[in-house]
Chains A and B, each alone.
Chain A
Amino acid sequence: MSVSEAPKPAFRLSQLIYDSRYRSLTIQVVTLALFCLGLWWLGNNAYANLDKLGLTPDFGFLQTRAGYDIGETLIPYDSSSTHGRAALVGIFNTLLLAAMGCSTALVIGVLAGVLRLSKNWVVSKLMSFYVEGFRNVPLLLWIFLIFAIFTESRPPPNTFKPNADGIAENEMWLGAIASTNQGTFIPSLSFSTLGWVIWLTLALALVAVYFLAKYAKKIQSETGRIVPVLLPAIGIIVVPLVVAYFALSAISSKTEYTFVAVGAEQSMDLATYSEAIGRPDYCAIGSETGAVNGRRYIEEAEVNFRRRDFFGQSDAQSAFEQGTCNLIAVPVATAEAIAADLTEGLRNKAVAGVLTDRYMEGQAIEVSYPVMSPKGIPRFEGGGKISNPLIALWIALSLYTGAFIAETVRAGILSVSKGQTEAAAALGIRPNRLMQLVVLPQALRVIIPPLISQFLNLTKNSSLAIAVSYPDIRGTLGGITLNQTGRALECMLLLGIFYLALSLAISFVMNIYNNRMKLKER
């Protein structure tokens, strides 16, 4: 018996429309063609319009001098830096704001979500009030309001200045923190030249803790035995750090420091130098113990000076070469070499010399406290500053997003059926472990996906920094740079690409986490 082959029909053109095997292909090709046509239309319009205005897209402006100053930067920047660098400053500020916002929003959201489920009537009502209030009023309004509250309710810095009797209107909190309407001034840490060893120690300790946790989990899933993690982890982190601190301090407290100064002659000391030059400008580097103690030394010598703040040695040296400052603290061992190096770079053919003053570098880590400037306009010197726009944005973004996260968390916890808790209790699992081992893993599965989108929202909402003029990427690249150069097309394009890349990166990372937490269906 021979099975006759079904006749293979010839391909007809009408099959492209009527045959469902080919139709999808047709539709796709047509769609793609239409899409390309649309793109071409937009591109053509843009070309024609720009041509008419005589504008050509050009990214060269990123290399030109920006000419404006930025109040808050995480990297060295001044008005002679390029527009490209200003954009970079903005990128770092955006990332900082997003990171700060995401972490506190998570904490606030989890707290509020749990408290809203609390049996305590007052607390749960209060939390409902918070959640509804923030969810239903535009974020922009909250930013304005919180910023205004900070401006109006905090005292200006000059009220911290002692009057003739030595009594100030306002006292610093614990003598270290001052919350003013220009920002909050906090102590900062400075490190000695070998400070990187401490960071390295910390990093190694964290890696060790990670492996310890992994090992504990392995033992638990294999044998059921619970290996304690918390106390050993604290030990692993603290002990090496303490050892490193004392070892390094032993070195740095014996390291001699001195000053290199522009126009200093042989064997001149600080007092004679400042007399000769009038008022030296001191390159202050807040993160270096040697520089911080150098400032202290100058203050104690009662020499009239002005401080210029810089991020690091290289940043300060370039300022040195431009003449912004003329006095810098360096280790004695390398002082001559640095002086020679600087002399070469100085523009006005001046000579940099080493002063005769000597002092010790100090401990491996020292705390630098904000103090009221003794002379001139009342302001805080030393320490760190968190500006009010940043605080207002931080609070507003965390509270606003926290309200949404609270709802997510609440939904997640409610989604774990009561039977699970009861079953776990019946197995004799204690309440604190019950939360950790039974409820949370299940609730997290429901919570994480919406949490990702809340983090994305917060990151995108950080662009509302425009409301309080915080210099984020939209404020620098998409604000002042755009405005001063008039390059709207280029700036908006770069801005869009940055946000898109950031969003994709966040969702990529969070999705990895989500996939690890997801119920494994086999």
Chain B
Amino acid sequence: MKKTVFLGALTVAGLVAGVASAATLDDVKARGAMNCGVTTGLVGFAAPDANGVWEGFDVSVCRAVAAAVFGNGDAVEFVPTTGETRFTALASGEIDLLARNTTWTFSRDTDLKFDFVGVNYYDGQGFMVPKALGVSSAKDLDGATVCIQTGTTTELNLADYFRINNISYQPVPIQTNAEAQQQYLAGACDVYTTDASGLAATRATFEAPGDHILLPEIISKEPLGPLVRHGDNDWGDIAMWTLNALISAEELGITSANVAELSAAPTDNPEINRLLGTEGDLGAMIGLSADWARNAIAAGGNYGEIFEKNIGEATPIGLARGLNAQWTDGGLLYSPPFR
């Protein structure tokens, strides 16, 4: 922070902030709010409502981390990022956490110098076609015009998949999901490909969802997760364990409704007690207060609640849990133990 004294006038104006990259947690605490990078708008994952309040699945992760640090899920500033600006925003310290349905890949983790803190949504790239096209497999798509969201891993997957299967196609790159939806509905492309969750969410908002089908092929693994800068492990741990706390909370049956009650006094289950801070001092180990996990869960509920509220089957998006169910229910969600 010292360096900013030199830029006195601008700092006073609140337009320049210092980043002492050694400890993001200290910076966040000094600032009084966390900066969280989200998309500029994706149905169910992040979008502002009429009052400018951000809502969505990714947004809830941000709120949970903010609640773990500050005890208040609103102590977070949302920074809309595009596919092109998201990594620089994180690398330059403009944001502290990027929760923008970003696929965990080797090069992003190593070459771009980031650390993924876990997976909050297991996804895979799929295809949506109108029923009238009469196609039942991606292998029949020879000669098709394909809408792809640009700036994502999907265009690389698509090129690889079609190349391996010797299928020719005409790519139509598109900036946003909303744009792609419009193009697809107008018939400007025969196929729309993106993460299967996105396809399902998009199809759900159509006037006639029944006229469109998702092809059975899932051509890639897309583990989407929040990420932080490489090198600040303390901050990475906070984000990682907040996410794990949300997952564990669901496994242990802690919900936003009963979290206050469960954390009022130690219960019979020692793991719940450790998680909620009524036993042991897990909070102190990652430099937070003892009730950090309690706050994180209270902010938006456990993983299952967040899922159901934003993208679950009760919402217009209507995604099934699928791979994102707890490991006990046949899914992939598996939080390391809290001890």
Contacts and interface: CB of A to CB of B under 8 A. Distances in A.
Contacts of A480: 150-151, 155, 173
Contact of A379 (B83, B84, B143, B150): B143
Contacts of A272: none
A79 B162 CA distance: 10
B175 interface: yes
Contact of B156 (A55, A469, A484): A484
Nearest to B91: A53
Nearest to B174: A469
A67 interface: yes
A275 interface: no
Interface in A122-172: 148, 151-152, 155-158
A152 B140 CA distance: 27
A67 B83 contact: no
Contacts of B166: 281, 323-324
Contacts of A67: 156, 159-160
Contacts of A309: 168
A157 B84 CA distance: 32
B143 A373 contact: yes
B159 A79 contact: yes
Interface stretch (A68-76, A109-117, A502-510): A68-76
Nearest to A148: B182
Contacts of A55: 113
Given A53-B113, A479-B150, A488-B88, A71 B171 contact: yes
Interface string B168-197: 111111110000001100111110000000
Interface residues of A, number: 44
Contact of B84 (A70, A323, A482): A482
Contact of B188 (A54, A156, A306, A483): A156
B70 to A, nearest CB: 27
Contacts of B113: 53-55
B133 interface: yes
Interface string B123-151: 00000000011010000111111000011
A52 interface: yes
B115 to A, nearest CB: 13
Contact of B175 (A70, A152, A466, A484): A466
Given A377-B143, A483-B151, A486-B112, A182 B83 contact: no
A192 interface: no
B186 A181 contact: yes
A155 B187 CA distance: 8
A388 interface: yes
A471 interface: yes
B160 A79 contact: yes
Interface in A52-105: 52-55, 67-71, 78-80
Contacts of B174: 469
Interface residues of B, number: 45
B145 A379 contact: yes
A315 to B, nearest CB: 14
B187 A486 contact: no
B258 interface: no
A308 B167 CA distance: 9
B133 A377 contact: yes
Contacts of A402: none
Contacts of A181: 186-188
B84 A479 contact: yes
Given A148-B182, A182-B189, A308-B168, A377 B142 contact: yes
Contact of A158 (B140, B155, B162, B187): B187
A475 interface: yes
B158 interface: yes
Contacts of B143: 373, 376-377, 379
A482 B88 CA distance: 11
B163 to A, nearest CB: 6
Contacts of A376: 140, 142-143
Contacts of A377: 133, 135, 140-144, 190
Interface in A295-349: 306, 308-309, 323-324
A144 to B, nearest CB: 9
Contact of B83 (A78, A306, A483): A483
27 contacts: A52-B21, A55-B113, A68-B156, A69-B158, A69-B159, A69-B171, A71-B172, A71-B173, A78-B163, A79-B160, A80-B163, A152-B186, A156-B187, A158-B187, A309-B168, A377-B135, A377-B144, A379-B144, A388-B188, A467-B175, A475-B173, A479-B150, A479-B151, A480-B151, A484-B156, A486-B87, A486-B112
Question: 6 closest pairs, A vs B, by CB?
Answer: A156-B187, A79-B159, A469-B173, A181-B188, A486-B112, A68-B155
Interface of A: 52-55, 67-71, 78-80, 148, 151-152, 155-158, 181-182, 281, 306, 308-309, 323-324, 373, 376-377, 379, 388, 466-467, 469, 471, 475, 479-480, 482-484, 486, 488
